[in-house]
Amino acid sequence: MSRPDFAEFKPWAGLLAGMAAAGGQHQLVSDAMHFDCRYGRYDMLVGIAALVLIAIGALLSWSAARVHREPGSARRFVAHMSLMAAALFTVMVLWQIMAGVILPACLP
């Protein structure tokens, strides 16, 4: 049985990495603050890690979009869709980082 080629998944990388990063960041920060609000100070670190993961996925999708230049290519469409999704997930993570900066984790 042959292994799948990694290049086949490159167009999907921005979408998959964006979903995993944004969902993971949201879940980690909300669970951490639910159990102990002092963990809220790590939301910036978790957010930056999520942004790095989204950027890696977007770069992989961008490289796939550049390789598949045919106008009707499904891989090119998926790569562009993944880039747009990565941009939306970036905004989502940035909003959550801003909320962590503006609002105190532990209310007085």
CB 90 within 8 A of CB 51: yes
Round to whole Å and give the CA distance between 19 and 26. 11
What is the rounded distance in angstroms from the CA atom of residue 89 to the CA atom of residue 14? 10
Which two structure tokens, joined as six digits, stand for 40?
Answer: 């809220």
Q: Which residues contact 94 (CB under 8 A, 6 or more apart)?
A: 47, 51
pLDDT digit string, tens, across residues 4-31: 777 788 999 999 999 999 999 999 988 8
Q: Across all residues in the chain, what is the average pLDDT?
A: 89
Domain boundaries, the chain: 9-20+32-101
- Is the pLDDT at 74 greater than 80? The verdict is yes
What pTM, to 2 d.p., does this model score? 0.88
Q: What pLDDT does 108 receive?
A: 66
Q: Is residue 76 within 8 Å of 14, Cβ to Cβ?
A: no
